[in-house]
C-alpha cells in the first residue's frame, strides 16, 4: 500500500514541477489586418498559463484526479490528430478538489479546461499577438456541482400580520444548526427544479421540459445563446453560444421526480422546522425592540404579540390539511409528480394555508416541478477516490466574421471528439 501511495505521489509530482513551465510569447508573425491563418500554439497540462494547477487534496486523491484529467487531455489531443490549429493559442489547465454532495455521498469535483485565446494583428506593428483572455473554451467537469434548494411553495420566509419572518428551511435554528444543515438537511431543502438545472445550460424557453430531460438522461446537448437570437439566427451577426453535454450512466436518470405523497410527507417534517425557526426569529425581534416606546416599536410589538397568538392555529391547520390529503386521496393521485407554487408566489401565511394541496401539470414561471437526486444512480466510490459519477462537457464557441479560429475548432470537436470514450470512464 505504501508503494502504491508513493507511486501516486511521484506521478502527481512529475506532472506539476514548476521548473517545466515555459512562458508562451506572442508569435510576432507578420500579418495584415487579420492573424487568423497564423499557425496556432498548443500547450498541455505541463505548461499552464499561470504556472500551476489549482488542485486541492492529499497526494493520493490528487494523483487519482490527475490520472483522469490526463486521460481527458489525451482524448482532446486525439480529436485534433488531423486538424491544424490556426489563429489562436490553446492552453490546458486543471483544477479541482472541492467535494460535491450527491445525497449521502460526497465525491471530489475536478475539471479539464482548454482555453482558446484568439490571435490578433497589431494595428501599428503588423505582427501577431495573443489576446489576454479567452471566450472560446472546452471544459470537461468531472462530478460537477448540482444545484439544490428549490424553495417550494409553503416553505421559507412568511408573514402573518405584516412582519416577514426569516425561516431557514434546512434545519432548526440553534447551536447545532450548521452541523445539521450540512450533514442532515431537511428533505425539502434538497429539492431541485427544472429551472435550476437549466440555468446557464439552456435558454430554449419554448422547449424547457424537453431540454431538462436531455440533461438528466445524458441524451444529446443543450445550448445557452449568450449572444444572438437562437430562434432567428443570422450568419451575418455575432453569435456566442454555450453548448452543454451531460455524460451519464446509460439507463439511469440523474434525478427522479418527487411524488405528491413524498412532498406532503416532507412538508410534515418541514413544519416542525418552521415552528422552531418561527419562534427563534420571533424572540430575536422581541429582544431587538427591547423597552423602546417609540411609535414604530409599539406598532411592531403589537404585531409580534398577535403573530405569536395566531401562528399555532395556522401551524395546526396546515398539519391537519396535509394529513387529510394523505389519508383521503387515492394512490394514483398521490403518486403523480409534485408540481407546486414557487414560494415567492405569496408570503402570506394564511394564503399559503389556502394554497396547500394545489398541484399543477408542468413547471412554468410561477411553479416548480420538484426532483431529487436519484439514490440508485449514486453509489459508493468503492476504493476509487476520484471515481467519475457523471461529467459535464461545455463547448463555448463564437460564430462571426473574424472568429474563424473558434468555428473551425468547434466543427472539429463535433466531428472528432470521442464522447463514447468519455462515457466509458464512468464504468
87-100 pLDDT, tens digit each: 999 999 999 989 99
Statement to judge: residues 412 and 283 lie in one domain: no
Q: What pLDDT does residue 233 have? A: 85
Q: Is the pLDDT of residue 19 over 70?
A: no
Q: What is the mean pLDDT of residues 29-36?
A: 93
- 117 is a domain residue: yes
Read off the C-alpha cell for 17: 514541477
Q: At what angle do helices 59-79 and 2-14 cross, to 10 degrees?
A: 50
Q: What pLDDT does residue 294 have? A: 93
- Give me the count of residues in the chain: 427
Q: Is the pLDDT of residue 3 over 70?
A: no
Statement to judge: residues 69 and 184 lie in one domain: no
Statement to judge: residues 111 and 49 lie in one domain: yes
CA atoms of 3 and 403, how far apart (whole Å): 50
- 150 is a domain residue: no
Q: What pLDDT does residue 106 have? A: 87
Statement to judge: residues 36 and 117 lie in one domain: yes
Q: Is the pLDDT of residue 334 over 60?
A: yes
Q: What is the mean pLDDT of residues 407-415?
A: 98
- Radius of gyration (C-alpha) of the chain in whole angstroms: 27
Statement to judge: residues 294 and 359 lie in one domain: yes
- 176 is a domain residue: yes
Domain count, the chain: 2
> C-alpha 318: how far from its chain's center?
33
Q: Cell match 488542485: residue?
A: 55
For the entire predicted model, the pTM comes to 0.88
CA atoms of 60 and 386, how far apart (whole Å): 9
Q: Cell match 494583428: residue?
A: 121
- Residues 6 or more apart whose Cβ sits within 8 Å of residue 417: 75, 76, 79
User: Residue 300 sits in which domain range?
Assistant: 158-191+258-373
- 271 is a domain residue: yes
Q: What is the mean pLDDT of residues 353-358?
A: 94
- 356 is a domain residue: yes
CA atoms of 44 and 66, how far apart (whole Å): 13
Q: What is the mean pLDDT of residues 64-82?
A: 97
Residues 108, 96 contacting (CB under 8 angstroms)? yes
Eight-state DSSP code of residue 237: S
Statement to judge: residues 72 and 117 lie in one domain: yes
Q: What pLDDT does residue 30 have? A: 95
Q: Give the number of other CB atoms < 10 A from CB of residue 14.
A: 12
CA atoms of 394 and 264, how far apart (whole Å): 37
CA atoms of 97 and 34, how far apart (whole Å): 40
Q: Is the pLDDT of residue 354 over 90?
A: yes
Statement to judge: residues 166 and 282 lie in one domain: yes
Statement to judge: residues 63 and 173 lie in one domain: no
Q: What pLDDT does residue 13 have? A: 37
Q: Is the pLDDT of residue 296 over 50?
A: yes
Of residues 249 and 385, more confidently modeled: 249
Statement to judge: residues 8 and 63 lie in one domain: yes
Query: CA quadruple 186, 189, 191, 192: dihedral positive or negative?
Result: negative
The tens digit of pLDDT for each residue in 370-405 reads 999 999 998 876 778 889 999 999 999 999 999 999
Statement to judge: residues 162 and 135 lie in one domain: no
Q: Is the pLDDT of residue 126 over 70?
A: yes
Amino acid at each position: 500500500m505504501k508503494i502504491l501511495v508513493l507511486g501516486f505521489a511521484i506521478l502527481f509530482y512529475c506532472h506539476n514541477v514548476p521548473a517545466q513551465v515555459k512562458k508562451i510569447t506572442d508569435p510576432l508573425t507578420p500579418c495584415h489586418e487579420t492573424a487568423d491563418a497564423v499557425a496556432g500554439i498548443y500547450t498541455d497540462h505541463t505548461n499552464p498559463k499561470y504556472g500551476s494547477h489549482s488542485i486541492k487534496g492529499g497526494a493520493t486523491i490528487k494523483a487519482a484526479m490527475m490520472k483522469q484529467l490526463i486521460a481527458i487531455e489525451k482524448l482532446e489531443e486525439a480529436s485534433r490528430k488531423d486538424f491544424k490549429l490556426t489563429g489562436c493559442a490553446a492552453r490546458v489547465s486543471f483544477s479541482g478538489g472541492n467535494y460535491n454532495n450527491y445525497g449521502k455521498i460526497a465525491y471530489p469535483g475536478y475539471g479539464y479546461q482548454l482555453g482558446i485565446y484568439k490571435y490578433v494583428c497589431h494595428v501599428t506593428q503588423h505582427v501577431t499577438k495573443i489576446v489576454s483572455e479567452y471566450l472560446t473554451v472546452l471544459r470537461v467537469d468531472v462530478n460537477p456541482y448540482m444545484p439544490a434548494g428549490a424553495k417550494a411553495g409553503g416553505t421559507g420566509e412568511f408573514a402573518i400580520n405584516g412582519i416577514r419572518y426569516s425561516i431557514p428551511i434546512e434545519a432548526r435554528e440553534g447551536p447545532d444548526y450548521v452541523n445539521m444543515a450540512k450533514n442532515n438537511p431537511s428533505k425539502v431543502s434538497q429539492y431541485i427544479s427544472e429551472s435550476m438545472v437549466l440555468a446557464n445550460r439552456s435558454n430554449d424557453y419554448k422547449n424547457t421540459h424537453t431540454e431538462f430531460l436531455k440533461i438528466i438522461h445524458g441524451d444529446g446537448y443543450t445550448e445557452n445563446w449568450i449572444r444572438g437570437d437562437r430562434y432567428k439566427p443570422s450568419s451575418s451577426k455575432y453569435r456566442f453560444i454555450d453548448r452543454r453535454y451531460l455524460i451519464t450512466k446509460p439507463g439511469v436518470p440523474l434525478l427522479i421526480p418527487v411524488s405528491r405523497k413524498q412532498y406532503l410527507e416532507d412538508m410534515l417534517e418541514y413544519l416542525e422546522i418552521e415552528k422552531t425557526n418561527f419562534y427563534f426569529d420571533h424572540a430575536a425581534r422581541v429582544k431587538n425592540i427591547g423597552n423602546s416606546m417609540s411609535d414604530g416599536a409599539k406598532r411592531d410589538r403589537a404585531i409580534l404579540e398577535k403573530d405569536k397568538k395566531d401562528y399555532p392555529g395556522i401551524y395546526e391547520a396546515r398539519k391537519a390539511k396535509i394529513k387529510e390529503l394523505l389519508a383521503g386521496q387515492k394512490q394514483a393521485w398521490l403518486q403523480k409528480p409534485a408540481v407546486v407554487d414557487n414560494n415567492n408566489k405569496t408570503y402570506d401565511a394564511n394564503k399559503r394555508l389556502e394554497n396547500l394541496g394545489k398541484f399543477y401539470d408542468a413547471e412554468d414561471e410561477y411553479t416548480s416541478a420538484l426532483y431529487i437526486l436519484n439514490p440508485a444512480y449514486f453509489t459508493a466510490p468503492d476504493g476509487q477516490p476520484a471515481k467519475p459519477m457523471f461529467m459535464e462537457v461545455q463547448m463555448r464557441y463564437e460564430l462571426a466574421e473574424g472568429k474563424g479560429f473558434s468555428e473551425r475548432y468547434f466543427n472539429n470537436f463535433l466531428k472528432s471528439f470521442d464522447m463514447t470514450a468519455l462515457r466509458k470512464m464512468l464504468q
